[in-house]
Amino acid sequence: MSGPSDSKEFAAPDSGAAPAGAGVLASRPALGEVATLFARLGATSFGGPAAHIALMHQEVVVRRRWMGEQEFLDLVGATNLIPGPNSTEMAIHIGYRRAGWPGLVVAGACFIVPAVIVVLALAWSYVRFRSLPDAAAVLYGVKPVILAVVAQALWGLGRTAVRGPLTAAVGAAALVLYLRGTHELALLALGGLTVAAARKAWRGLPLAAGVPVAWPAAGAAATAFSLDRLALVFFKVGSVLYGSGYVLLAFLRADLVVRLGWLTDRQLLDAVAAGQVTPGPVFTTATFVGYLLGGLPGALVATGAIFLPAFVFVALSHPLIPRLRGSETAGAVLDGVNAVSLALMAGVSWQLARAAVVDLPTALLAAAALLLCARVNSAWLVAGGGLAGWVIRSLAR
């Protein structure tokens, strides 16, 4: 869903890079370089997966010459074929390529941990002070800005995901079915299989005999909280989520708001705001949610559960990248999954807008943020929304 910058410069791979699978043979200097680079990127990279990957391209291809343009593009393609957070998986791939198995673990951890620490601090502050007027005022302004950022991402990703009438139709159908309560996992599977089967049929091959049955959404009765169930929810999300970190909203709302009744829409938006305003992966929203529901143990469980599949998928897929790159079937399935992911983003944005745009000032904030999204870093927009919310509420007292 996201890609590197458009630089045409080709940089030859560094001959000293440790090959994937080098494992314990990875040199200490290479491992130290990986740790230093991704700790800095994790602490400073705002703007979402596309921005993160562009920064990685600048660092590992243009500046450090750890790999060439084509190899970097192959890694980007591989992250789009597996579930999970794209920019985190790119960090893990690069670490694996540079320093073997130790690099795989170190790169991913160093990219994730800085954001987790910041989000933990925000979660503690939210739990401790959310009843204060100033905290409520900041969140009042941040929520509509978050929706505008999601809408901008939706527009940008749509130009990649919608590749013709077939994917457009699949996306539109998925949006209708999602708003009528169809389970998001069934929609992802159905979308991918539909596009793959249709393209095979157009090439003269037999069309698939059947399609999966959609799962209806469960009721909204509250379920008792437990760390085991929390881990399962986030492990499932990390294992099946395609498209973008913003699709996380659809999964979390379906599980934590609708099915389990552990969160409200407003609390979910607060958690997403925390993940958006901080550097690093948007998936650290899981850290915030886990802290709200289960304190520090809940935060650690949710964070570990949602990111663990990314490490596993990268380790399994890295040796297969040359084959995946040339697979027509994998590309067709991915196109269908991307179209459905786009529909899920649109559907959840519509649902959450009712909790964020509650009056004229919030509507104006959302509109202004939408106009500025293409020109201003999303972190600055969120900060500006928080300041505007504080000012508006202060003047209204």
10: DSSP letter: -
pLDDT tens figures, 222-263: 678 889 999 999 999 898 886 555 678 778 888 899 888 999
Q: Is the pLDDT of residue 89 over 60?
A: yes
CB 275 within 8 A of CB 283: yes
Q: Is the pLDDT of residue 197 over 60?
A: yes
Residue 216, pLDDT score:
36
pLDDT tens figures, 308-317: 999 999 999 8
Residue 294, pLDDT score:
92
Q: Is the pLDDT of residue 112 over 90?
A: yes
Average pLDDT value for residue range 345-365: 81
CB 170 within 8 A of CB 339: yes
In the chain, the percentage of residues whose pLDDT exceeds 70 is 78
Position 10 confidence tier, pLDDT thresholds 50, 70, 90: very low
Q: What's the mean per-residue pLDDT of the chain?
A: 77
Residue 39, pLDDT score:
92
Q: Is the pLDDT of residue 342 over 50?
A: yes
Residue 108, pLDDT score:
95
d(CA 271, CA 289): 6
Residue 9, pLDDT score:
35
The 3 state secondary structure assigned to 168-187 is: HHHHHHHHHHHHCCECHHHH
Other Cβ atoms closer than 10 A to 36? 11
Average pLDDT value for residue range 25-32: 70
Average pLDDT value for residue range 265-289: 84
15-19, 203-207, 211-215, 268-272: which is most confident = 268-272
Q: Which of 155 and 308 is assigned the larger pLDDT?
A: 308
> In 3-state terms, what secondary structure has residue 11?
coil
d(CA 245, CA 153): 10
